[in-house]
Chains A and B, each alone.
Chain A
Amino acid sequence: MKYYDKLIFELSRPGRKGYSLPENPYGPMLLPAGLGRGSKAMLPEVSEPDVVRHYTNLSQMNFGVDTGYYPLGSCTMKYNPKINEEIAAMPAFQGLHPLQDEATVPGVKAVYEGMDKALCAITGMKHFIFTPCAGAHGELTGLMIIREYHRRRGDLARTKIIVPDSAHGTNPASAAVCGLEVVEVRSTENGLVDVADLEKLLGPDIAGIMLTNPNTLGLFEREIGRIAELVHACGGLLYYDGANMNPLLGMVRPGDMDFDVMHLNLHKTFSTPHGGGGPGSGPVGVCAKLAGIADTMQVSGFHGNFGVILRAYAYILSLGREHVKMAGKLSVLNANYIKESLKDCYKLPIGSVCKHEFVFDGLVDDGSATGKAGATTLDVAKRLLDFGFHAPTIYFPLLFHQAMMIEPTETESPETLDAFIEVLRKIAAEAAADPDILHQAPHGTPVSRPDETRAARTPVVKYTPAV
C-alpha cells in the first residue's frame, strides 16, 4: 500500500467540472427572496478523471476481505460473492420507487417472501420483518417489539432488561435507546451466564433478557434451556442477538432454544459486503405471538435495505439447503484449529471447544524479562498488519484485559490459517526477543500509529481551505 495524501477538495480548480447534464429547456429558476442560499456551498470542482484517480488512490490505502485475511471477531468477515453484486445492481431493481404499489413490484414481493421463508427455516422463528438497517437497529427494533408486547398486556412495570457482562456494546446501548434500564448478569469463570445470579435478578420488573449464543467468547450457552424456562416463568421474553449466528447454521435454531425475538446481520451470516461500515441489514424474526406486533414497527423510511436483502437472498439460493448447513461447521472447524495451534504462546483463558470465534488474553507470560509485559495485544494487532493480515477484534469482550477475539469464518483455507498461525507464533517470538519491533509496528503501512489523543482533544472533522 502506498501513501497518498490528497483530499478531493485539494484537487479543486474553479471552472472544472465532472458531470454532464442535459440542457435546461425551461427558464431560469426563480426562488422568492429570502429562500435562496446566500453563498455557494464549498464543493470540489474537479474533472471526471480527477475523481476516478483520486478514489482509486484512496482505495489502495484500504484493506478488505478481497485483499486478505480479516479475522475480526464478532464481525464474520466471510467472502462476499460477486454474483450477488451483479444481482443487486440490476437496473430493474435499482429503478423501483419505494412507494410503488405492491402490484407493480411482484418481483420484489417474491424476494421479501422468499427471504422470510428462508430465514424462518434457518432460525426456527415464525416471521421476519426487514425494516432494520443494521444489527444494532435490529436489536432496538426487537426490544421495541418486546416493550409493545408488555404494553399491550397492560404490564407496564417491566422496565428492565438483563444483559450479560460479556455482551456486545450495542446490547446495553440499544436497551437504553429503547428506554429500558440495563441490569447486568455476571459470567461464571467458565465464561457462561451465571444462572444463579440470573435467578436473583428475575422479577415482575424484567422485560426480558438479551443473549448472544454462542456468546462473545465463542462459547455455547449450554444452560440456555434452563435460562429460557426461568425468564419465561417470570413473564419476560428472550432476545437473541444474531451477530454470532454463523456457527449455528445447519446445527441449532434460535427458535428451538425458545427465543421470542431475534435479529440477523445479513452482512455477517449471509455474506453481504460490510462496505467499510454499512450498509447492513438487520431483519428481526419473531415467534408466532409477536408477528402482529412486529408488522407494525416502522423503524426506517421504507422497506429496509432492499439492495442488501437481495444479495443475501442470492447467497442463500446459491448455497441451498445442502451447503447452508456446512457453513456453520466449517467456521467452527477453522476457529478451533487456530485456537489449538496457538494456545501454547497466547493465553487461552477458557479452554473448552469454541464455536466460530474465541478469545485469547494476550501473550502467554513466559516469565522472561520481556515476556508478556513486553508487548500488549495492541502491539500484536499492529504487528499483524505488517504481515498482510487484518487484526482481530481487540480489547473486547471486556472480561479480559488483553482480549484478542479471532473469528476466521468458513471461507478461509487451511493454508491461510497456517500462514496466520505461523505469523502469530513469529510475533510471539519477537515479543520475547525484541519487543520494540512490536511497539513500533506497523512498519510497512501507508501511515504509522496515529496520534489519537490529538484527534480527540482538538477535533478536526472537516476540511477547511487554507486562506
Chain B
Amino acid sequence: MFQYFPHTGEDIRRMLERIGADSLDALYADVPERFIYRGEYDLPAAMSEQQVRDFFEGLAAKNPKLKVFAGAGAYDHYTPSVIPYITSRSEFLTAYTPYQSEISQGTLRYIFEFQTVICSLTGMDVSNASMYDGPTAAAEAMRICVSQAKKKNTVLVSATLLPQVLKVMEVYALNAGIRLVRIPAEGGQTSLQALGELIAAGDVAGAVVPSLNRYGIIEDHAGFADALHAAGALLVEYCDPSALAVLKSPAEWGADVAVGDGQPLGIPLCYGGPYVGFMACRQALIRKLPGRIVGETVDKDGKRCYVLTLQAREQHIRREKASSNICSNESLMALWVTVYAALMGPEGLREVNEISYGGAHYLEQQLLATGKFEKVFDAPFLKEFVLKPLVPVEELQQKLLDAGFFGALKTEEGYVSFCVTEKRTRAEIDQLVNVIREGWL
C-alpha cells in the first residue's frame, strides 16, 4: 500500500463486507457512469521520500540566493529560531479552527494574545483573530465603511497606498458596487487638501490611508480624522505593525479602523505568503468585524477560559447576511507574530526600527553620494525610500542581481525604491553602494 494509508487488503475486504458492497468501485454506484473517470492522471509516478526531498532541493538550488534590499509590502526582518520551533508543534499546526473550546484552549489563548498585541500596537479597542493578508484586510475595512455609513457608497483611497493594496481593493469594490476614489498625493504624501475637497463632494463613507506609504514616507495625518468624522465617515489607517512600535499609532491619529499586514513582525518573505492580515477597530464597530474573534469567559466551574465569540456576525450562522465570507483565516501566522512580539517586546521592536532606520538613511546618503541618483521627496522616511535614478533602471537592477543583491524596485513613476532592515549589515550596504559606484565609471 502507501505510507499514509493504513488499510491492508484484508482490512478493505472486511470493511466492504460490513458495508455490504462488493468492491471499492461499488461505493460509487450512485455516480452516473459517464462521470466516472476511467483515464490515468497525467501525473508523475509516486516518489519516495528521498526523491521528493531531492526534487525540491533541486528546485531550491535554482533560485540564486540574494541579499534583499527591497520592501514594497514584504520586509526582510530577522526571524528568531524560537518561532518556527513553536509554530511547528503539531498540537498547534495540525489543529483546525477552535470549534471545541474545551480541547482548543491553546489556539484560543494565543489568538487572544494576538488580538492584544494588535490592539497594543494600533492603540485600538478590539481586534479580530486575523485576516488573509494586508490588502484583503484593507478591502474588508472598505466594506465596513460602507456598511457603517448606510446610504453612502464612496470610499476614498490614498494614491500612496501600496499598488497591491489598491488592486485588491478595486476588485472587491467593483463587485460590491462600491465607488473607490483616489486621493491624490502631494510631495509623496496623501494630500489633506484633496481629502477635504473629496469629502465636500459628498457620499463619502470612509477613507483608507497609509501611515507608512508606498514611498516609505511616514505620513502626517493631522486633521484627517476630524475632516472625515465631521462628514460621518470613517478613517482607516493602513499600517506596518512593526513600525508602530515607534510611529504614532492609528488611535493617536484618531482612526476608527486599523488594518495592515503582520508580515514585518518576523514572518519570512516566502515569496509572498503565507502572511497574516490584521484588523482592529474602535469598540463601537466590534459587530462589524469580519471573521473570528476570541473572547474571555469562564467555564462552568468558574475557570478562566476562551471561546470564539460574537459568532452571530459569521457566515456559518448568518450565511448571506454575515459581515464577511471569511472562514479560515491565518491562525498559525497569528501565532507566529504573537511569539515574535513576545520575544522582541517593546524594546526589541524599537531597536529593530532604529537599526533599520539607521541603515536606510545611511544607504540613501551613500547612494546620493555616488551622483547616480537624485532625491525625489523631502519627507521623513523609516526603512524604505525612493530615489530618481540617473542611470538606466534595468541596467542598475541587473548589476545588483549579478552582485547578489535584490533592490532598486522600479516604481510606477520610474523611481527606484530601496529598503533596509536590521538584517542588512553596514558592510553589505557598502558592498551594494560599491557595485553602483563602480558600475558606471
B375 within 8 A of A: no
A81–B167 CA distance with the chains assembled, in angstroms: 35
Stretch from A69-77, A362-370, A427-435 at the B interface: A69-77
For B425, the chain A residues whose CB sits under 8 A away are 22
Minimum C-beta distance from B101 to chain A (A): 5
* CB-CB nearest in chain B for A165: B319
B296→A252 contact, CB < 8 A: no
Complex partner residue of A303 from B271, B276, B315, CB under 8 angstroms: B271
**Interface 1/0 per residue, B23-63 and A, CB below 8 Å:** 01101111110111100111111110100110111111111
Task: Say whether B120 contacts A42, CB under 8 Å.
Answer: yes
Q: A337-B19, A459-B309 are in contact. Are A396 and B316 (CB under 8 A)?
A: yes
Whether B346 and A35, one on each chain, are in contact in the complex, defined by CB atoms closer than 8 angstroms, is no
Contact A169 B317 (CB under 8 A): yes
Give chain A residues whose Cβ lies under 8 Å from the Cβ of B343. 18-19, 46, 48, 51
A303 touches B248 (CB 8 A): no
- B222 interface residue, CB < 8 Å from A? yes
Chain A's interface size range is: 35 or more
What are 20 residue pairs bridging A and B, where the CB atoms are less than 8 Å apart in the complex?
A43-B346, A48-B343, A62-B91, A63-B100, A80-B93, A89-B84, A92-B63, A104-B66, A107-B63, A108-B63, A134-B326, A177-B143, A274-B97, A276-B107, A278-B332, A278-B333, A301-B168, A320-B46, A414-B11, A454-B297
Residues in A whose Cβ lies below 8 Å from that of B66 = 95, 97, 100, 104
- Distance between B136 CB and nearest chain A CB, rounded to angstroms: 6
The number of chain B residues with a CB under 8 A from chain A is 202
Asked if A224 lies at the interface with its beta carbon under 8 angstroms from chain B, I say yes
In the assembled complex, B133 has its CB within 8 A of some CB on chain A: yes
Known contacts A314-B52, A326-B5, A450-B307: A173-B35 contact under CB 8 Å: no
Q: What residues of chain B lie closer than 8 Å to A62, measured between beta carbons?
A: 91-92, 95, 103-107
A121 adjacent to chain B (CB < 8 Å)? yes
B133 to A, closest residue via Cβ = A301
CB atoms of B35 and A455 under 8 A apart: no
Check: A118 CB closer than 8 A to any chain B CB: yes
Q: How far does the alpha carbon of A81 sit from the alpha carbon of B107 in the complex, in Å?
A: 21
B94 touches A18 (CB 8 A): no
- Determine the distance from Cα of A370 to Cα of B59 in the docked complex, in whole angstroms: 62
Interface residues of A, dominant DSSP? loop
Whether A333 contacts B322 by the Cβ 8 Å rule is: no
Interface presence of B304 (CB below 8 A):
yes
Q: Does B252 contact A (CB under 8 A)?
A: yes
Q: Are B105 and A97 in contact (CB under 8 A)?
A: no
Q: How far is the CB of B137 from chain A (nearest CB, A)?
A: 10
Q: Which of A2-10, A197-205, A229-237 contacts B (4 or more CB under 8 A)?
A: A2-10
Within 8 A of B (CB), among A150-191: 169-170, 172-179, 182
Chain A residues with CB under 8 Å of B70's CB are: 97, 99
Given the complex of chains A and B, what is the CA–CA distance between A324 and B46 in angstroms?
Answer: 9
- With A176-B320, A279-B332, A382-B102 in contact, do A448 and B300 touch (Cβ < 8 Å)? yes
Query: Is B177 interfacial (CB 8 A cutoff)?
Result: yes
> Is the CB of B150 closer than 8 A to any CB of chain A?
no
Q: How far is the CB of B436 from chain A (nearest CB, A)?
A: 18
Closest to B292 in A: A277
In Å, the complex CA distance between A332 and B71 comes to: 47
Interchain CB contact under 8 A, B109 and A58: yes
Contact B361 A77 (CB under 8 A): no
Q: Mark A103-140, 1 if CB is under 8 A from B, else 0.
A: 01111101100000110011010000000011111011
* A292: interface (CB < 8 Å): no
B330/A278 in contact, CB under 8 A: yes
Question: Which chain B residues border A24 with CB–CB below 8 Å?
Answer: 351, 354-355, 358
At the interface, yes or no: A426 with Cβ under 8 Å from chain B?
A: no
Can you name 5 extra interface pairs (CB under 8 A) apart from A89-B88, A104-B63, A173-B322?
A: A9-B113, A43-B120, A80-B93, A86-B53, A136-B325
A70 to B115 Cα, complex, angstroms: 27
Q: Which B residues are in CB contact (< 8 Å) with A396? A: 316
Chain B residues, Cβ within 8 Å of A442: 102-103
Q: Which residues of A contact B331 (CB under 8 A)?
A: 275-279
Write out, one digit per residue, whether chain A residues 51-74 have a CB within 8 A of any chain B CB (1) or not (0): 110111011111111110010100
Tell me whether B89 is interfacial, beta carbon within 8 Å.
Answer: yes
Contacts of B348 in A (CB 8 A): 17-19, 21
A253 at the interface (CB under 8 A from B): yes
User: A422 on the interface (CB 8 Å rule)?
Assistant: no
Query: Is B271 in contact with A108, judged by CB distance below 8 angstroms?
Result: yes
Q: Which of B74-82, B179-187, B199-207, B229-237 contacts A (4 or more CB under 8 A)?
A: B74-82
